[in-house]
């Protein structure tokens, strides 16, 4: 802030915390310190954050239990054993899956099934021939079908409008 400029805003919490713990340096830190020297509210906040920072810095990390390393290594070993057992189960399932696939493919290639598949394919070919013959007929009949559908929709809409219209009450004479 330049000299002679009126200070109207206070510093935000992040800036004050940076000043308190010493992480705000350079021109920003210098300007913030100047502001705190002229602003009682910001100076009080800075003092509170500085006290909090000093209290937190004075805290001592708790000592690790003597068996911490042993327990972590035991947990890691147990996890590795579980993963190895899971891998063995998955690897044991692979031959069973391959055998089941082989059985299904063998059943699928049996003579009875091949004959059924041929019958299905012949039926599909017959349906395709019927569709090829019927396509021009359907194409010519498309306009009458559309008109019929329009008349059906119009009659249904008329019935619905009459059914949903509020009934009028006879007037009292």
| Residues 47-58: tens digit of each pLDDT | 999 999 889 888
Percent of the residues in the chain that have a pLDDT greater than 70, as a whole number = 84
pLDDT, tens only, 76-120: 999 999 999 888 888 888 888 888 888 777 766 666 766 777 777
| Spatial contact of 71 and 64, defined as CB atoms under 8 Å apart | no
Phi, psi of 113, rounded to the nearest 5 degrees = -70, -40
CA quadruple 16, 22, 24, 25: dihedral, nearest 10? 140
- pTM of the predicted structure, to 2 decimals: 0.35
Label residue 3 by pLDDT band (50, 70, 90).
very low
Rounded distance between C-alpha atoms, residue 53 and residue 63, angstroms: 22
């Amino acid at each position: 802030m330049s000299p002679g400029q009126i200070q109207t805003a206070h510093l935000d919490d992040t800036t004050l915390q940076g000043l308190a713990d010493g992480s705000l340096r350079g021109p920003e830190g210098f300007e913030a310190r100047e502001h705190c020297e002229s602003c009682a509210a910001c100076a009080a906040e800075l003092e509170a954050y500085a006290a909090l920072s000093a209290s937190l810095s004075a805290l001592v990390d708790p000592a690790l239990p003597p068996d911490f390393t042993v327990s972590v290594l035991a947990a890691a070993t147990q996890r590795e054993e579980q993963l190895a057992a899971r891998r063995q189960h998955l690897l044991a399932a692979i031959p069973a899956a391959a055998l089941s696939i082989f059985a299904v493919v063998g059943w699928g290639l049996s003579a009875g099934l091949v004959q059924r598949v041929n019958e299905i394919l012949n039926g599909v070919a017959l349906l395709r021939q019927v569709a090829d013959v019927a396509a021009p007929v359907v194409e010519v009949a498309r306009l009458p079908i559309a008109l019929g559908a329009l008349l059906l929709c119009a009659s249904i809409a008329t019935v619905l409008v009459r059914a949903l219209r509020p009934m009028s009450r006879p007037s009292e004479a």
